[in-house]
Amino acid sequence: MSYIFMVHISNKWKIRIMFKKLGLAITFSPTGKALLAETRRLKLLFNSELYLIHVGERNSETEERLRKLVLESNLKPEEINFIWGSGNPADVIIDSIKKNSIDLLIAGALEKEKTIKYYFGSVARKLMRKVPCSLLILTSAMNSDKEFKKLGVLVDFSPENENTIQKANQFAMMEKSDQLILIREIDTTGISASAVTGNSANEMDNYIEKIINEESIKLSILVNELNLRGVDISKICLPGKEGWAVRQFLRKEGIDLFIVSAPARRLGFFDRVFQHDLEYIFVDIPCDLLIIKNSSK
């Protein structure tokens, strides 16, 4: 798996953050070049090996198209590992990751074109639930290099999530991000429903405010315990309907990258956090998404 750590030298923190092997699920789509450009930037940032995974027919024509795409992205074909496969796209990608010990998979999000919609729309759910490594989904490919200046990380106070927050902090430091926001979402739909049983509006507001204050204190303690540093750290509690409140916040604040922990179990996590089908979320989420897979070792 990926590893990220820090060492203290002369009162300064030296960052050592690395995804040793990057994999890009690449297609010959209009955004393929932009995805490869961003992957190149991350390859240089992490000093990683790069694996290009293409699911489709391999012949002289497709090989030349992929080689041309690589050259146009200022990459050297001899420094890239090319993986060709046929069959179910998700199965091919997952198998390639396992065989090559890839620890960060990069993929584009849902596009409007029919073939791309089929590819990522049908594959995304399986990848998000079964991919054995961290996953970066780029929702808005650009032709120029971009940087993640404003990061948000979802907080649930689990041990796995603490690792995710630390990695998000160190990612932000290496990227020289301007801000990292710890986001704690509080589902108040059940609380609001109890108002029907006789609680007054003022009592309900006071109760929700009490919960927000308690969660805010827990966030402050967490920041101190994890020794987060090197970037502007902010904290926020978002009351409301799960999933909806987060998406609105990401959009309003102009978050560039949203970071979450991979599900500890195969099912349930994303359906709990995001109330909609994953394919819908790809269309609706206003920023790129990084799902951190924490090692079970």
- Write the DSSP assignment of 193-254 as a string of letters: HGGGGT--HHHHHHHHHHHHHHHHHHHHHHHHHHT--SSEEEEEEEEESTTHHHHHHHHHHT
Q: How far apart are CA 23 and CA 42, in angstroms?
A: 11
Give the CATH number of domain 150-292: 3.40.50.620
Q: Do the two domains 3-138 and 150-292 of this chain adopt the same fold? A: yes
pLDDT, position 191: 66
The answer to whether 24 and 51 are in contact (CB under 8 A) is yes
Q: List 59's β-bridge partners, or say none.
A: none
pLDDT, position 171: 93
pLDDT, position 15: 44
Each domain of the chain, given as residue ranges in start order, spans 3-138, 150-292
Q: List 181's β-bridge partners, or say none.
A: 152, 234
Contacts of 132 (CB under 8 A, 6+ apart): 94, 97, 98, 293
Residue type, 102: I
Burial class, 253, CB count within 10 angstroms (exposed 0-12 / middle 13-18 / buried 19+): middle
Which DSSP helix (H) or strand (E) runs through 8? strand 3-9
Rounded to a whole number, what is the largest CA-CA distance in the chain? 72
pTM (2 d.p.)? 0.83
DSSP state of 262: P
3-138 architecture in CATH? 3-Layer(aba) Sandwich (3.40)
Number of neighbouring beta carbons within 10 Å of residue 236: 17
DSSP strand E in 94-219: where? 104-108, 134-138, 150-154, 179-187
Q: How far apart are CA 44 and CA 61, in angstroms?
A: 29
Q: How far apart are CA 31 and CA 62, in angstroms?
A: 17
Q: How far apart are CA 119 and CA 73, in angstroms?
A: 23
pLDDT, position 113: 38
Write out the chain's pLDDT in tens, 297 residues. 444 444 443 334 444 546 899 999 998 877 788 889 899 999 999 889 999 999 999 999 999 999 999 999 899 999 999 999 999 888 999 999 999 999 999 987 644 434 444 445 557 667 777 889 999 988 766 545 578 999 999 999 998 999 999 999 989 998 999 999 999 988 777 665 554 455 566 777 788 888 999 999 999 999 999 999 899 999 999 988 777 888 889 999 999 999 998 876 554 445 544 444 344 445 577 888 899 988 754
Which DSSP helix (H) or strand (E) runs through 5? strand 3-9
